[in-house]
Amino acid sequence: MNAFKPILTRIAAAFAGFAGFVGLAVSPLLPAQEDTGLPRIAHAGGQIDEATYTNSLEALNASYTAGFRAFEIDFSWTSDGHVVCLHDWEESFERSFALPPTGALSLAEFQQLVQDRSAYEKCTLSSLMQWLEVRPDTVLVTDAKERNIETLAHISAHYPQFLPRILPQIYQPEEYPSVRELGFGEPIWTLYEYPGGPVAVLDAIDNMELFAVAMNTRRAVQGLGLELDLRQIPSYVHTVNDFADWLYFQSLGVDEIYTDNLSRTRELELAATDLVTLQDSPVRRAMEARSRELARRKELFFTLPRIQYSLAEDFSLAGISTNQVAMLNFHDSRLDLTASGTDPYINFPPFAEPTLEIGIYVHVDVPDSTTLEVFYATQGHPGFSESLKLSEQTVVGSNEIVIGISAQDPITRFRIDPGTVAGNYTITRLEVRSH
C-alpha cells in the first residue's frame, strides 16, 4: 500500500530542519509497521503505571520513552473557553478526580484540581503544545468528541505552526470540508460515532482524501479493513493492547492500531518468542464462541415441535402491517422488501396459541451491516415497547439469526425490524416455534 506515502512525506518535510531527526524514508513517525509506514498511535497519551485515559504529561513521556511518536489526545472545553486534555466532564472527570461531575469547570478550577486531586499532570492545550515543541519528531492525533470543528479551528488559529504535525480526526463526512479549509492535511475518519455500515463508509470515502480510517473492533471483525485495502485506504483499529488480537486484526486487513501499551518494541519482543499466535486472540475466540452458540441455538430451535408461525405457510399481506416499507413482494416463501427509511418494520399476526416461550429463526439478507430487532407483546403487555425487545447485529449480505424469548405471561405476537438502514432486504426463511 503506497497511497498514503506522500502524506507522510509532507509531514517529514516539516521536521527536516531539526537536528537529530531520524525517520523512515517516507515517515518520521516511529515506531511504524515496516510494511505500511503508518505510525502506531498511543491512545489518550498511552498508559502510565496501570492507568489509562489520563491524557497526562507523564503518560506522554512514558509512551515517548517506549518509542511512540504519534499520540492521540482527548480534548474538552472549559466553561471559560479554554481547551484542556480531558476525555469528558462526566465519567472521565469522576475517574480522574474522584469527584461527582458537575459540568465543565473553568481553566483555573481544572488546573487546581489537577494539582490537588490528580495522580498525574493532565495537560492543557498550551502545555501539550509546549511538550510537542521540544519533541519535533512527534505527531498529535486530535480527539474532540464535542465541538470538534470549533476545537480544530482554535488549534489552527493559535498554533498554525503545528498544522503539519497534526492528524485531525473527523467523526462524520460532513466535517471533512471544514477541516481542510482550516489548513489541516488529510484527516483520520474515526467511525465510532458514524451510524452507517461498511457500504455507507465505502461510498463516503470516495469524496474524501483521508490519511486513514479508524474503526472499533466490531467493525474490524466484519471485514472493513479488507474492503479498505482494496481501495488502498489505510486502516486502524482501537483500542488494542493484546498482541494476539493485533495478529488477528492484521489477518483481517487492518494496518495499524491505537493502543495504550503495545509499543512496536514490545510487539517485536513478543513476536520473537513465538509463544503467541492469532489463535490466542481473545477477540477471535469470542467470534468462534459466537459461531458455536449460533449452531447450538439452531439445533435446539429445530427440536421445538410446534410451529407457531411460518413464512412458508402462514404469510398473508392481509395479516401484516408495515412501517417505512416502500415495496413488499412475497413469492416462493421469500419476502422481499425495500426500506424507505431507518425504522422499517413488519407487524405479524397474533399467534393462534399464545405461549410463555418461543424461538424465532430468521434468515435475512441486509444491504449493510446493521441491527435486526425483534419486538414481542404479551397478554399482560399488549403493546410493543423497548422493554420487550431483543436485537442481533447483522453484516452486509446473508445472516442466520436464532432468538429465544421467555416471558412472565403468554406471548401473543411479534414484530421484526430488519435493520436501521434504507435499502433492499430479503427474508428467505422465518419460523416461530414453541414446545
**C-beta of residue 351 within 8 angstroms of C-beta of residue 309:** yes
Percentage of the chain beyond pLDDT 90 is 89
Q: What are residue 169's phi and psi, to 5 degrees?
A: -100, 140
pTM metric for this prediction: 0.88
The hierarchical CATH code for the domain 306-434 is: 2.60.120.260
Q: Is the pLDDT of residue 82 over 80?
A: yes
Q: Which residue has the higher pLDDT, 317 or 111?
A: 111
Per-domain boundaries in the chain: 5-288, 306-434
Rounded Cα distance, 380 and 396, in Å: 36
pLDDT digits (tens, 9 = 90+) for 187-242: 999 999 999 999 999 999 999 999 999 999 999 999 999 999 999 999 999 999 99
pLDDT digits (tens, 9 = 90+) for 241-268: 999 999 999 999 999 999 999 999 999 9
pLDDT mean across residues, the chain: 91
The hierarchical CATH code for the domain 5-288 is: 3.20.20.190
Q: Is the pLDDT of residue 301 over 50?
A: yes
pLDDT digits (tens, 9 = 90+) for 37-71: 899 999 999 999 999 999 999 999 999 999 999 99
pLDDT at 145: 83
Q: Is the pLDDT of residue 276 over 60?
A: yes
Q: What is the largest CA-CA distance in the chain?
A: 81
Which amino acid is it at 184? F
Among 110, 112, 116, 138, smallest CA distance to 23 is for 138
Rounded Cα distance, 257 and 238, in Å: 6
Burial code (b: 16+ CB inside 10 Å, e: under 16) for 43-56 equals: bbbbbbeebbbbbb
